A and B are shown apart, each in its own frame.
Chain A
Amino acid sequence: MRIIFTGKLCFYRAILFSLLLAGWVALPDAHAQTRRITGEVTSEENGTSLPGVNVVLKGTTTGTITDADGAYSLQIPEAGGILEFTFIGLVTKEEEIGNQSVIDMTMAEDTRQLNEVVVVGYGTQIKRDLTGNISSVSGQEIQNVPVPTFEQALQGRAAGVFIESNNGKLGQGIKVRVRGSSSVTASNQPLYVVDGIPITSQSQSSDDSETNPLADINFNDVASVQVLKDAAAAAIYGSRASNGVVLITTKRGKSGKTSFNLNAYTGFSEPTNRTEWLSTAEYVELFTEAALNSGYDEEFIQTRFTRFGAGDPASWQNPGSANYVDTDWQDEVFQRGSVNQVDLSASGGTDKTRFYVSGSYSDQDGLIKTNHFSRYSARLNLDQDATDKLKFGINLNIARSVNDKVPDDNAFSTPGQIIALPPMTPPVDPSTGELSGNYTLYYNPLLNFKYSFNTASVLRTIGNAYANYQFTPGLTFRTEFGIDYLTQNEEQYFGKETARNTSAPNGLGFNGWVQVGNYTTNNFFQYAKNFAEIHDIEATLGMSYQESKRDESRVEGQQFPSNAYKQIISAADITLGSSTETMFSFLSYFARVNYKFNNRYLLSLSGRIDGSSRFGANNRYGFFPAASAGWVITEEPFMNFTETLSFLKLRASYGITGNAEIDNFAPLGLFTGEGGYAGIPGQRPSQISNPDLRWEQTSQIDVGVDFGFFNDRLNGELDFYLKKTKDLLLNVNVPATSGFTTQLQNVGKMENKGFELVLNSDNFVGNFEWSTSLNFARNLNKITDLQGQVIEGGFVNRAVEGEPIGVFFAPEYAGVDPDNGDALYYLNTQNTDGSLDRGTTNDVNLAQRVVIGDPNPDFIGGITNNFAYKGIELSVFFQGVFGNQIYNGGGKFQSANGDYFDNQTKKQMNRWQNPGDITDIPQARLYEGNGTAESSRYLSDGTYVRLKTVTLGYNFPASLVERLNLTKFRIYASGQNLLTFTDYEGWDPEVNTDYLAGNISQGNDFYSPPQARTITFGINLGF
């Protein structure tokens, strides 16, 4: 209680401070010597007035925005200066004010991207002046992509950002790695910041079937996404920046006539792929052979077949009979899903007040039956110029999302596992007409479809209010206060028909509430000044405080009178109840100085001091500095001779970032009260202390070049980086004889190095437009020091020195002994001379485990080609992942040459049968484990290239659009994941089974449903 109070107290102080400040700054500043300047801004191309243009006294923050008629009026100091006109997509113009009191300006369209305004931590910068590495993706690029969460839409579009869905379930976990993994134990996911406020992005699910809080964001509201990748860009986020920072900026209104935008699409989805399983005849053949080979008689195995066939021998004996069954279980769980979304936004305003308002509804039926995701969201972004000096505004987003989930991949009830059922099993019991029950080999997941539900409903509010006050033309103060409030209700009910799975004979209900409150305040000064024409200085200095509290309560009950009762009030037996709370806080101070000399030499220094409740008492505060420099070579006089090279900048940066994503009370030695026994209270030690625990520290060096040719029609970036992480936050395995299994320590080192290439090209301009953008990245991850620790995860993943994180470590499969059909493994033991013994053995215990593969890709990339001709637009986007491997943890059941009764992959029919047979499928043997040990037998190449998005759109001609009183009228058809090129034999190479997904456990498949291939048809209207 005391703690919460202090926390609140601090907030009150922050608010009080802000109010004081607001009151104080609102006083008119009577003594300043100023004069007024006015004018009108028009388009150079067609002379129409341009609203929303930024008009700024250069080197200061004195500025305004043109109104609906393109007019502006600005109070400037008597001394005058240079007036700068900027607008995204237009060439920036400057004008010496001198004695003028009216300055009209024409502005031309800018095809170059270097003047793009890029959002950076606590501010913005012109891309041209950047010395750090930031990937920008415009909201335009990800609009209307028919996926639940915006990271999925980003996939393949940001260089060096690896994005992978766990599986094809809706609204679930997504792995994002910015320049590789930097931690073994702490999170490797980036920090997400929406309009300056860090938001909750971790799964809030009560089980292994993850939820994704980022799915609450309607990404049609997003103006741009910036991924801060190098230390120069990210270090201002200090101890949470090692994994990169994703800045999401939402759309804001511009003054002028209110414009409305309506987007709507509808479509359908289906699995990208299906796999082939044994037919009933093949199943009978293989398993009869397996049983006989293992000394069982035909009667034994036939009894099983008949049992699986719902007790009817005809189900497998008589292909001609009406009772013969040959089920493809994939048909029973997959469906043609649907996607629908509609959103309407309005933006506009006066010269003092600007707004962006939107409402959106999205609804998706997954490719798995019963899997459903819907989201309602509304947004209001409001900016008010109270005086010339004081601006304030709010951003407010309210969303409700409802996710009808399916169980995690490891549950018998999960739809993906249905493929384990033998093909002679009828989905519906012919004798009862009911779904097949207990004669199925395993629990029948179809029962869950019919008799259970698992719904996570989220109410999310992300909002912040800001005030911006300009003390002097060069100095402003900005204060922001943000709230991210997430309330989630998970409701589950499993009817008595599911008892074989739940062990609850008369129904089981679960109800869990989670509330995550995230409160952040940012307060910072910004200073900008131009000296003597050639020195530009920008500085930022401020503090930030974040506090987050998570409360959860759960209750579970059993014994329901009937399935008509689903709420726990009807449960005769309450079998579980709990409430928990956890909290963390960060207190930070940050500063940044950018200096530009002669428009040519760029220098930037930044630093952040971060204190966190998560760190040990002995190491509470960390310092995270960064320095970077740039040289715009094309500004040099000696470069004037070249016409082709229009822009060339060299960049270099170095800095230190941290990672603090660990359990909230990780340094403490803890006892838990979860030690009660038969109703008597108890306690037990739960965590061993480490008061020295501190953040993980990543130093990163980045060297890059930005270039533009032919007036920047061809432009790009090339970056090389080296990220070295030390003091890894590592759950170090300790001897279990201590009573503990792990201790979180700062041990070990890891490095990532690689390069990123971005190329943008306007191949054709004019009537027929063709542009290409490409990104390509390589990252090499290596654990350089774990002090000898070996940490295992997944099925055969491990973290071990000298290897990339999560390498697959298992015996190496050597195929089949042609003489007897035994599965063989390479010994791989060390000979006395140090070489490996490549002899083989049929005893997997004698085979040394070795590195057999790596789940981390060697290369990732994406390429987009956009074509436009007279209103017709075509966009073709390929995305690829290269050089990684996938381990199929289900292989030992699915491709086991008839070891157990699971239906087998078609390939198992190639099993060894007679001496001399050459095959890599061992002899079929029941229960003998012939080749079923975890080994490289179940490893595959994971490389894939995917036709990620194709969109064909048509913009109706202006004449028609105007006749309809519209400003825009576009229709389109779009396809997602239309084609996948891969050698992977499972459902889909984009896979990371949800119940294991983690830092070490990567690249695993375990009955994980495939991605969706989605076709949509949509319309965009502007009016």
Chain B
Amino acid sequence: MKNILNNTIIAGCFVMLAAACGDKLDIKPGNSVNDEQALETSSDIEALMVGAYDVMGDEDLYGGNVLRDAELLGDDGELFWDGTYVAPGEVFNKSILTNNDQAEGHWIQSYEAINIANNVLANLDVVDEEKKDRLEGEAKFVRGMLYFELVRLYSKAWNDGDPASNMGVPLVLTPTSTINEESYVSRATVAQVYAQVLEDLQSAATLLPAENGFFATKGAARAILSRVYLAQGKYAEAAAAADNVISSGLYALNSSYAAAFNNTSNTPEDIFAMQVTTQDGSNNMNEFFAASVYGGRGDIYVEDAHLALYDSTDARLALFYEDPDVGGYRTGKWNDQFANVNMVRLAEMYLTRAEANFRAGTALGAPPIDDINTIRERAGITPLTTLTIDDILLERRRELAFEGQLIHDLKRTGRSVGALPFSSPKLVFPIPQREIDANPELANQQNEGYF
């Protein structure tokens, strides 16, 4: 009898124990925050916006690899890729495979940052009133800049065929909180993407403050706008945007060319730069361009053909150095692994204003030759007395070499890359294979020359 009673008690205890433990299956993560609690206050949205810059500074994006690949893809004998990474090697050889991990990395990181920007734009209602314009402007700046980057990497250039029918990239303008049918987006046209880019950047130029620390500013938005206009051949607008930046008076050329590089904080010449510290951010330009004495892999050599572009007294030539370990020349622009990655410098605005004015036959702000001579004087070479478009483009090449502009400048001006015409499908990145596999809407939308 007692046994039965005992067993009943045991069983009773058992049930109690079980019931008491049920709630500890609810464990909250310690390192992360549940998405429902992440975007509640103004400072949450501000932090989110900072997150977009963090992603933009990823090594696959403006931490360097997008810039590196623009140089490798546009190169015709001025540099030499000597590294073992397969993906940049394919870019250098203009034989990119659809599973190229850089083609994948640029795409993924860009859309991750765009999704953050979309989240910011969708949650502006909780942002303090006085910060609203700035945050909206920053988000649109990031989104516009990245769509511009995507469309020029993964699509035919604006001047190559008909932008209204050429495929651009998928346009996603709302944040993703669940994966549903709307997450599967097909490619918009090149024209549609450019229209969005212009809308975002123009709006950003209006909303952003003139000064905003190292974050996006009016000047940064206009500087990127000037690139977009140049790509579209809208020279009057390009000249106006560049002039607007120059005449704002907020920026100045550094006294020496070398001073424009390897800086751990922005210089007066920097309109926008990705910030790198010893704890955070990446400088993959250093990784690939710098000699091992400067902490790089030294995968990219500068060839004589490039050095021959400079006059012997050019301060820009002096910045190249011979690798003390293995010989060969390196660019000196990326010798500090913890220095910022330059994105847009004021020098580019002079060059853009000069070219746009020249092509449009205008002299907004200054005659083209003055702008070119401004650049030449800083470099320590003699001013020009006459000017041709080739002079302008050569000056641009010298001034902006190995800063991630090459392929885009070649394409928009219709110049070929070696034997490949500017419109060669080999000069367009493939839509990443993983994206085509993951998104049936892209099934028949791979770029020409890839399958």
Report which A residues bind B (CB closer than 8 A): 3, 6-7, 9-10, 13-14, 17, 20-21, 29, 31, 303, 307, 437-439, 442, 471-472, 475, 477, 499-500, 503-505, 523, 525, 543, 545, 547, 558, 573-576, 580-585, 587, 589, 611-613, 620, 664-665, 668-689, 733-741, 743, 788-790, 792, 844-845, 892-893, 900, 929, 933
Contact = CB atoms under 8 A, between A and B. Distances in A.
A609 to B, nearest CB: 10
A689 B35 contact: yes
Nearest to A573: B278
Contacts of B183: 734-735, 737-738
Nearest to A505: B295
B35 A680 contact: no
A574 B280 CA distance: 12
B399 interface: no
A555 B66 CA distance: 30
Nearest to A687: B32
A933 B89 CA distance: 12
Interface stretch (B108-116, B124-132, B204-212, B251-259): B108-116
B111 A736 contact: yes
Nearest to A25: B6
B185 interface: yes
Contacts of B108: 736, 741
Contacts of B287: 503
Nearest to A791: B437
Contacts of B31: 580-582, 672-673
B249 interface: no
Nearest to A583: B27
Contact of B292 (A17, A499, A585): A499
B23 A738 contact: no
Contacts of B99: 792
Nearest 6 Cβ contacts at the A-B interface: A739-B115, A675-B51, A682-B50, A684-B51, A438-B325, A669-B35
Nearest to A525: B10
Q: Which of A29, A499, A503: most chain B Cβ within 10 A?
A: A503
Contacts of B30: 580-583
Nearest to B213: A680
B21 to A, nearest CB: 4
Contacts of A6: 23-24
A545 B50 contact: no
Contact of A677 (B10, B35, B44, B50): B50
Nearest to A17: B17
28 contacts: A14-B21, A17-B13, A21-B13, A438-B292, A475-B7, A523-B17, A587-B25, A611-B22, A620-B25, A668-B32, A670-B35, A675-B47, A675-B50, A676-B280, A678-B275, A679-B280, A683-B38, A685-B35, A688-B177, A733-B434, A735-B438, A735-B439, A736-B434, A736-B435, A738-B179, A739-B172, A788-B440, A789-B438
B74 interface: no
A733 B433 CA distance: 11
B50 A680 contact: yes
Contacts of A583: 27, 30
Contacts of B172: 737-739
Contacts of B23: 6
Nearest to B185: A737
Contact of A670 (B18, B29, B44, B48): B29
A687 B38 CA distance: 12
B34 to A, nearest CB: 6
B26 interface: yes
A581 to B, nearest CB: 4
B34 A893 contact: no
A929 B35 contact: no
B279 A575 contact: yes
A788 B437 CA distance: 9
B184 interface: yes
Q: Which of B32, B175, B275, B295 has the most CB of A within 10 A?
A: B32
* Residue of A545, A558, A611, A845 with most chain B CB atoms under a 10 A cut-off: A845
A517 to B, nearest CB: 14
A845 B89 CA distance: 15
Contacts of A688: 176-179
Given A503-B295, A683-B47, A733-B434, A739 B175 contact: yes
A581 B31 CA distance: 6
Given A613-B26, A688-B178, 6 more contacts: A6-B24, A503-B296, A585-B25, A683-B48, A688-B176, A739-B112
A584 B29 CA distance: 10
B57 interface: yes
Contact of B25 (A612, A892, A900): A612
